[in-house]
Amino acid sequence: MNPHDETPVCDHFQKAAELVGKRWVPQVVHAMRQGPQRFSDLREGIGSISDHVLSQRLKELELEGIVTRTVTPSTPVCITYGLAERGEDLARVMSELQGWAERWAAADSQGPPPP
Report residue 111's pLDDT band, with 50, 70 and 90 as the boundaries.
low
Say if 7 falls within a structural domain.
Answer: no
8: in domain: no
pLDDT reported for residue 107 = 75
| Lowest mean pLDDT, pick from 21-25, 60-64, 110-114 | 110-114
Least confident of 2-6, 7-11, 27-31, 54-58: 2-6
Query: Is residue 60 domain-resident?
Result: yes
**Residue 56 predicted with pLDDT over 90:** yes
CA distances from 66 to 1, 11, 32, 38 (A): 33, 19, 11, 16
Number of CB atoms found within 10 A of residue 71's CB: 9
Q: Is 6 inside a domain boundary? A: no
Q: What is the mean pLDDT of residues 52-67?
A: 97
Contact 45, 15 (CB under 8 A): no
> How many domains are contained in the chain?
1
Percent of the chain with pLDDT over 90: 67
CATH of the domain at 47: 1.10.10.10
Task: Quote the CA–CA distance of 19 and 57 in Å, as a whole number.
Answer: 10
Among the residue ranges 5-9, 19-23, 67-71, 101-105, the one predicted with the least confidence is 5-9
- Quote the domain boundaries for residue 27: 18-107
Report the first-to-last Cα separation within the chain, whole angstroms: 39
Whether the per-residue pLDDT at 59 is higher than 90: the answer is yes
pLDDT at 112 over 80: no
